[in-house]
Amino acid sequence: MTELGQSAFREAVWRERHWELAGEGKRWFDLKRTGRLLDEIRKDGKNIQEKNRLFPIPQIELELNSEWQQNPDY
């Protein structure tokens, strides 16, 4: 087995996770969690906006929780 440095190891795990979990709906959350969402989606030639990093909070939740505010751009 080839020895990998920390960054190379993380990249290898990242690639493997991408392939192993393809189609299971986890990639978007991984991209968001690691801060790669906008760059990775744009790399595929797709148009994604900054607001797409967050989902809108359902209106009923905002009505039930007066201290909450809607996510930006929604």
Q: Number of folded domains in the chain?
A: 1
Q: Is the pLDDT of residue 17 over 80?
A: yes
pTM as predicted: 0.61
53 located within any domain = yes
20 located within any domain = yes
In the predicted model, what is the mean pLDDT of residues 4-12? 90
Would you list the DSSP string of 8-61? HHHHHHHHHHHHHTTTTT-HHHHHHHHT-HHHHHHHTT----GGGGSPPPPHHH
Share of the chain above pLDDT 70, in %: 97
Domain that holds residue 58: 6-64
Binning pLDDT at 50, 70 and 90, where does residue 71 land?
very high
Rg (CA), the chain: 17
In the predicted model, what is the mean pLDDT of residues 33-50? 89
Mean pLDDT across the chain: 89
Q: Is the pLDDT of residue 1 over 60?
A: no
72 located within any domain = no
